[in-house]
Chains A and B, each alone.
Chain A
Amino acid sequence: MSVGMTRLVRVGIVLIVAALVPSLFVLTAGHNPWRVLTTLLLYAFGPQGWSEVLVHAIPLTLIGLGVAFALRAGLFNIGADGQLIAGAVLAVFFAPYFDGWGIAGLIAFLILGSIGGAALGALVGYLRAWFGASEIIVTIMLNYVMVQMISYLIRGPMQETSKFWPQSYLIPDDCILPVIVPGTRLHAGLFVALLMVIVGAFVQRRTVLGFETSVLGANPGAATYAGFRVKILTVIVMAISGGLAGLAGAVEVGGIYQRLQDNMSEGFGLAAIAVALIARLEAAAIPLAACLFGIFFAGSGALQRELALPFPLVWIIEASVIFAVAALQWALPSQKAIA
């Protein structure tokens, strides 16, 4: 830490750099940075945009919680996209049996989604704990496997009855998460996500599981020393992390698609890593970070439509924001002990 630079000066530097860098790119591409910013914000907080921001924040929150939980244990779960697919596939596979179950059908559908993701996550944890396989590589590879698997399933065994479109049959009505604001796509998955945030914050602060997880991440030697069963703990943590991604898969199907199709994840898995880091792995802060990214997910379409702004420029703006938030953590360091 350099001497003589006050917090205010540092925050100022961060904000100026964060505004200048994307502006330069936008200018070079022949657009007006100010108009880009106002268009993005007007859309995101406008009558059509706000619900779309939340629609994207739902899976980002669920997956972000899981990624953060794994990161607290020092495990990088890059495989949320694959776990999301695993959850969606398992849930949709059994969905026809839940026809006529009412609310129990919806709950069973969501639980099956979690189980699908958890199974894939647990496999990664097992390979890591017993064979020392890198969870980063295994999760990335499994993403490809899952993408190929769903691609096969929706063109084969689970394809819709006319056998024409590459998509699965529709799930029964009982498994659908209802729209909660008429005229938007905002669905009851919002409550599922908020419930998980509360559960996550509780687990993190109050339970042995949350404590053991942070010890394992902060000092693996201390975890062994204290007598934690580190291998089993690794499997549990990866199962929970994958389970949340799988739940997001079921929520996306139940709330938006109502069937399986290609490209369901839209790159949520990678964005969720940034969500988790920006929230400093604090469960309670994850929804806010998820909304920030929801603005970009929802707003990038608006920028393309209204300003004909090319996609890569949106990514550059997004990257600048990630850097800015990370740099703010440098500008405003916290010296507090983890109590």
Chain B
Amino acid sequence: MTPLLEARGLNKSYGQLRANDDVSFSIFPGEIVGIVGENGAGKSTLVKMLGGALAPDSGEILISGSAVVLHSPADAQKAGISLVHQHFNLIEDLTVEENLVLGRPELRHGILRFKELRPEFASVAEDLGTHIAFDSRISALSVGGRQQVELIRALFHDPRLLILDEPTAVLPPDERDRLLRFIRLLKERGTATILISHKLDDLYDCCDRAVVMRAGRVVGTSALRPDDRAELIRLIVGAELPSPDTRHGTPGAALVSVQELVVYRDNGTVAVDRGSFNLHAGEIVGLCGVEGNGQTELLQALAGMRPIQSGKITYAIGNEPVTNADTALLRRIGVAHIPEDRLHYAVVAAFSLTLNWLLRKLGNPHFVTWGLLHRQAAAKATAAAIKDNDVRASGPRARLADLSGGNQQKFVIARELSGDVAVILAGHPTRGLDIRTVVAIRNRLVAERAEGVAILLLSADLAEVWDVADRIMVMARGRLRGPVPVAETTLAEIGHWMTTP
């Protein structure tokens, strides 16, 4: 049988870095193939070349046995390949329908005939099994909803091959299941899918085989038998994984107590509805929920970044407890915050690592005296931090934007957890990162817990919460359930709480 698509000896370099080094790959009609590897292993580069978004330096691509040159994503679409990127290309202020039309330049002709297009959109949406409101704005949709819009756009062209880059990274469990079901439905109809994912469960649940990449090369293939999981991880990491830290803390005094907290969203609707809980020294409390149910706003309010409408947040750190304090004060008393939207809050992308380090160190007399910055000291500390925390960067002068997402995250965590920390507010700290980095970050949190730090861990990954948290609480439509000890509950119960407020 001829492969639907075959890549032979693809090479792509960025300066000194060989992003893809003699990569060969093939996929047959109706096959679902996973591509796994660490951040920076070359997966995205490969699929960009297959999707026409990037030209290889050398090597060739064959479709149904004949060589093709893909100059653009439009070329690839004509050849039956649709690529859905990890970061959505949607215009927030336009409606679903308007965004869909923008994705089809051949339908524009200067005038948008929505009435004629609507049935076409509707039939694709029906295939997807989704009931999306075509006239709602993108900004009103959940992450899953946005992804469905991207999928509808990709499926318009009736592709023979669908490429999905990290589609499950941002999805809550039920939406992830629906997506994987849909990929299998496409398979029955003869459409092949390439699925890039860091989550091994995605591969085992959905793929026929997995191709493993490391440092720009294809290092092996796995048939995904349930008993070869350890072997697959070894292939991905290239060595044994650091073993997970299993130390427990000894829960102490309540460092954070929240009473009857009410917080609004930017649009004035209630995000957190009379929430109360305590967070103790030496424990990790997992915060779960379907995206958009108020967890984000709760974390922002705890960090002092969102106004409190009513109720109290009290931090009992140091000598005097403080209530409803602002960010500046919380920073001083040792509240670390790993925000879920890194580029929006935690860093300035255009600045060097040194300046990004200084961003949170302005109160530290080692780096600032009399309002003057000590750049040398900051550069030194930054150099030490990136070395100690295995942040891959050319040095403290490197621009933050030039680091990969995983390394940016490691840098932020290194900075936040340096110095005296009593409470850590972590928003999706491991989202979208590779296995090795995920283990490193979890171990770091567990180590901090053993030191007596109180940690609130907002995570969409229930398995992660089960692994590291002592207690778990759930938010649904602004209402809090729990916290309850992890040992006293079940995945089914938590899942039920997540969907019924």
Contact = CB atoms under 8 A, between A and B. Distances in A.
B349 interface: yes
A120 interface: no
A115 B141 CA distance: 50
A339 B331 contact: no
Contacts of A211: 355, 358, 362, 373
Interface stretch (A129-137, A149-157, A178-186, A213-221): A213-221
B372 A206 contact: yes
A225 interface: yes
A207 B371 contact: yes
Interface in A282-339: 337-339
B350 A226 contact: no
Q: Which of B326, B339, B348, B375 has the most CB of A within 10 A?
A: B348
A8 to B, nearest CB: 22
B373 A229 contact: no
B327 A338 contact: no
Contacts of A339: 352, 354-355, 397
Nearest to A337: B399
B328 interface: yes
Interface string A196-225: 000000000011110110110011011011
Contact of A222 (B347, B354, B372): B347
A206 B362 contact: no
A212 B328 CA distance: 13
Contacts of A226: 327, 331, 359-360, 362
Interface in B323-375: 326-332, 337, 339, 341, 344-352, 354-355, 358-360, 362, 368, 371-373, 375
Contacts of B375: 206
A338 B352 CA distance: 6
A207 B351 contact: no
A74 B330 CA distance: 26
7 tightest A-B CB contacts, nearest first: A337-B399, A227-B328, A227-B331, A225-B345, A227-B327, A339-B352, A221-B345
Contacts of A225: 303, 305, 327, 337, 339, 345-346
Interface in B53-71: none
A228 interface: yes
A338 B350 contact: yes
Contacts of B304: 227
A206 B371 CA distance: 9
Contacts of B402: 337
B398 interface: yes
Contacts of B329: 227
A207 B373 contact: yes
B338 to A, nearest CB: 11
Contacts of B344: 219, 221-222
A206 B374 CA distance: 8
Contacts of A229: 326, 328
Given A215-B359, A222-B346, A208 B331 contact: no
B328 A338 contact: no
Given A222-B345, A225-B305, A337-B350, A208 B360 contact: no
Given A225-B346, A226-B331, A337-B399, A218 B351 contact: yes
A208 B327 contact: no
A239 B105 CA distance: 49
B418 to A, nearest CB: 14
A212 B344 CA distance: 16
B351 A338 contact: yes
Nearest to A229: B328
Given A337-B350, A337-B402, A339-B352, 18 more contacts: A206-B373, A207-B373, A208-B368, A211-B355, A211-B358, A214-B351, A218-B350, A219-B347, A219-B349, A221-B344, A225-B305, A227-B326, A227-B331, A337-B351, A337-B400, A338-B350, A338-B399, A339-B355
B399 A208 contact: no
A181 B344 CA distance: 53
Nearest to A208: B371
A178 B345 CA distance: 51
A208 B352 contact: no
Contacts, number: 83
A208 B364 CA distance: 12
Contacts of A218: 348, 350-351
Interface of A: 206-209, 211-212, 214-215, 218-219, 221-222, 224-229, 337-339
Contacts of B303: 225
A203 to B, nearest CB: 9
Nearest to B327: A227
A207 B347 CA distance: 19
12 contacts: A208-B362, A208-B372, A215-B351, A219-B344, A222-B344, A225-B337, A227-B326, A227-B328, A227-B331, A227-B360, A338-B351, A339-B397
Contacts of B337: 225
A200 to B, nearest CB: 15
Interface in B203-232: none
A338 B345 contact: no
A146 B373 CA distance: 38
Nearest to A209: B371
Contact of B352 (A221, A224, A337): A337
A235 to B, nearest CB: 16
Nearest to B344: A221
A158 to B, nearest CB: 38
Contact of A215 (B305, B328, B348, B371): B348
A229 B305 CA distance: 11
Interface in B118-151: none
A337 B346 CA distance: 17
Given A208-B368, A337-B399, A222 B358 contact: no
Nearest to A224: B305
B323 to A, nearest CB: 17
Contacts of B348: 214-215, 218-219, 222
Interface string B287-312: 00000000000000001110000000
Contacts of A338: 350-352, 355, 399
Contacts of A215: 348, 351, 359
Contacts of B398: 337
A339 B354 CA distance: 7
Contacts of A206: 372-373, 375
A219 B399 CA distance: 15
Contacts of A228: 328
Contacts of A207: 371-373
Contacts of A227: 304, 326-332, 360
A302 to B, nearest CB: 42
Contacts of A221: 341, 344-345
B207 to A, nearest CB: 37
A339 B368 CA distance: 16
Contacts of A224: 305, 327, 345
A215 B358 CA distance: 11
A222 B360 CA distance: 10
B380 to A, nearest CB: 14
A229 B337 CA distance: 17
A96 B53 CA distance: 72
Contacts of B349: 219
A227 B305 CA distance: 9
A227 B334 CA distance: 12
B24 to A, nearest CB: 27
Contacts of A208: 362, 368, 371-373
B234 to A, nearest CB: 37
